[in-house]
Amino acid sequence: MRSDKTKKSVEKAPHRSLMKALGLTDEEIARPFVGIVNSANELIPGHMHLNQVVSAVKAGVRLAGGTPMEFSVIGMCDGIAMNHEGMKYSLPTREIIADSIELIAMGHAFDAMVFVPNCDKIVPGMLMACLRLNIPSIVVSGGPMLAGRLDGRTVDLISVFEGVGELKAGKITEQDLKELEDAACPSCGSCSGMFTANSMNCLTEALGLGLPGNGTIPAPLSIRLRLAKHAGMKVMELLEKDIRPRDIATKESFMNAIAVDMALGCSTNTVLHVPAIAYEAGIELELDDFDRMSRKVPHLCNMSPAGPYHIEDLYYAGGVMGVMKRLSGLGVLDTSVMTVTGSRLEKNLEQARITNSEVIRPTTSPYHEEGGIAILRGSLAPDGAVVKQSGVLPEMMKVKARARVFDSEEDATEAIMSGKIEKGDAVVIRYEGPKGGPGMREMLTPTSAIAGMGLDTDVALITDGRFSGGTRGAAVGHCSPEAAEGGPIALVKEGDVIEIDIPGRRIDLLVSDEEIQKRSENWRQPERTLTGVLKRYASMSLSADKGARYRD
């Protein structure tokens, strides 16, 4: 066992003495050590209950003959960090989470590990560490929040963000917004739509690193605790059989996960996180891998923010395994891949049941013929840009719009909220990429304001930053190269015409090559003073099309 290097032989008597100071008995020290990564805190609704989930995991480990050893990692609530400088710090936490887990896991020589995340950057950060370490491991999330209820309709966090825009447009009163605020987030768990956290938890299950149910069992249900106990027991089986994360998360498994991504209509942030996770397993994924899969896989689940359904609906309809059962009939999945159940995917799918064909549509009657995400290229984004096409209204799938240019999210948001954006505009927000932000802020506030004010049928939003999984509308993000690297988005001027053609996978700045060359020669990177984490992140991060991960 790996842990023997900390506890076996007479030379390790001092080490054992320290373990006994923790209260461990000789019997516990003799057993395999299982590191339990707990991201519980009092900052995030999705993490407020994770101590209970971790207690269940530890019970499972003990039932199967292991000794659980818990340690903590940081986590940030993107919703609370949204629309102020705090959001610049969110994406860098992904790398810090991965690095900190590696440090502890190597320092304490665990034999196996259980990762317990739930929200935005914590899930990909833990998955990166899981594949980097390649110790027998399993991931069990805290589960999704229940949807809220207000006046006979379901609501969620995005309803509140869009409610701000509705208030600014005079569509609702402050009292209406207060009632929405009070109702939208009714329980613990990751926000209830197919936003980034739930997207990543579902893809963890699709990838094979989480047990069936990991992505969709609601946080408040006791079956979530039973799942956690089973995860604790199952990791001991993985240790016994020496099944490691890279045995599970193969290139074929990642392509399976991308297929599920397209069927679910997941967050555009998956295009940022999945390649960064794959890289830790020595697997290179490209933007075109997502686009090719999008052409093959129809959009089967119309989840919030684009549709009326929430994760609890997906759970009761058949969950991620139900979606994969649908896709297996298309021939787009490799069902021979191994999973943390100890069985291959084809075996797991034998147990899958679909109980609602409106929540999980048949492949013969999808919500959209193509998958949820599209990759655009063109003169504005030669290295690629990302759009959640399942959330774009038909009239915005192919448009020409005049550029309204802003060098920060704050400036763009002020213009939107004050009514300065009109039909036919394309709001361009630049210098918000991995280096330019730095930190590549999510921009849920401006997109939600546009939707709430009823402009999502007429206004596009384009950025080298990124969008929340809660974003809907013609929102094109991850424009690469970013403005801070002198990418074409840095050269856009007020009033330029931008053409977006999502079916044709194009995004172009309709300015002559001669004019672009002239602007490029006159461009100078804006001066700024950075310190601390953001200074390091700006110097170390790669572009969005490379997953915004640290350079080697």
Supply the DSSP string of 492-529, one letter for each residue: --TT-EEEEETTTTEEEE-S-HHHHHHHHHH--PPP--
Note the pLDDT of residue 473: 86
Q: Which of 137, 190, 390, 468 is catalytic?
A: 468
Contact 287, 384 (CB under 8 A): yes
* Amino acid letter for position 228: A
Q: Is the pLDDT of residue 517 over 90?
A: yes
Q: How many CB atoms within 10 Å of residue 476?
A: 26
Note the pLDDT of residue 213: 98
Residue 172 tokens, joined: 């609702």
Measured between alpha carbons, how far is 462 from 478 in angstroms, rounded to an integer? 9
Q: Is the pLDDT of residue 444 over 90?
A: no
pTM given for the model: 0.96
Contacts of residue 368, defined as CB under 8 A and 6 or more positions apart, other chains included, come to: 298, 299, 389, 390
Q: Is the pLDDT of residue 122 over 90?
A: yes
Phi first, then psi: what are they for 42, rounded to 5°? Answer: -105, 25
Note the pLDDT of residue 452: 86
Contacts of residue 208, defined as CB under 8 A and 6 or more positions apart, other chains included, come to: 248, 249, 253, 256, 337, 338, 339, 340, 345
pLDDT digits (tens, 9 = 90+) for 233-268: 999 999 999 999 999 999 999 999 999 999 999 999
Q: Is the pLDDT of residue 6 over 90?
A: yes
Indicate the average pLDDT of the chain.
Answer: 96
Note the pLDDT of residue 277: 98
Note the pLDDT of residue 397: 96
User: How many Cα atoms occupy the beta-carbon half-sphere of 321 within 13 Å?
Assistant: 24
DSSP H or E stretch at residue 231 = helix 222-241
28, burial (CB in 10 Å: exposed 0-12, middle 13-18, buried 19+): middle
Phi first, then psi: what are they for 169, rounded to 5°? Answer: -85, 0
Q: Is the pLDDT of residue 525 over 90?
A: no
pLDDT digits (tens, 9 = 90+) for 194-208: 999 999 999 999 999
Q: Is the pLDDT of residue 472 over 90?
A: no
Mean of pLDDT values over 9-15: 96
Measured between alpha carbons, how far is 406 from 482 in angstroms, rounded to an integer? 14
Place of tokens 């397209």: 262
Note the pLDDT of residue 4: 96
Least confident of 121-125, 276-280, 413-417: 413-417
pLDDT digits (tens, 9 = 90+) for 335-389: 999 999 999 999 999 999 999 999 999 999 999 999 999 999 999 999 999 999 9
Helices marked H in 119-217: 122-133, 157-168, 174-183, 196-207
Note the pLDDT of residue 83: 87
Contact 376, 458 (CB under 8 A): no
| pLDDT band at 476; cut points 50, 70, 90 | very high
Measured between alpha carbons, how far is 540 from 398 in angstroms, rounded to an integer? 36
pLDDT digits (tens, 9 = 90+) for 218-238: 999 999 999 999 999 999 999
Q: Is the pLDDT of residue 44 over 90?
A: yes
Place of tokens 């074929």: 252
Percent of the chain residues topping a pLDDT of 90: 93
| pLDDT band at 454; cut points 50, 70, 90 | confident
Note the pLDDT of residue 324: 98
Least confident of 211-225, 476-490, 497-511, 516-530: 516-530
Contact 140, 227 (CB under 8 A): yes
Contact 408, 393 (CB under 8 A): no
Contact 420, 412 (CB under 8 A): no
Measured between alpha carbons, how far is 352 from 322 in angstroms, rounded to an integer? 5
Note the pLDDT of residue 552: 84
Q: Is the pLDDT of residue 522 over 90?
A: yes
Mean of pLDDT values over 419-436: 95
Calculate the dihedral angle through the C-alpha atoms of 222, 224, 225, 231, rounding to the nearest 10 degrees.
150
DSSP state string for 71-97: EE-----HHHHTTSGGGGGHHHHHHHH
DSSP H or E stretch at residue 254 = helix 251-264
Percent of the chain residues topping a pLDDT of 70: 100
Annotated active-site residue 468? The verdict is: yes
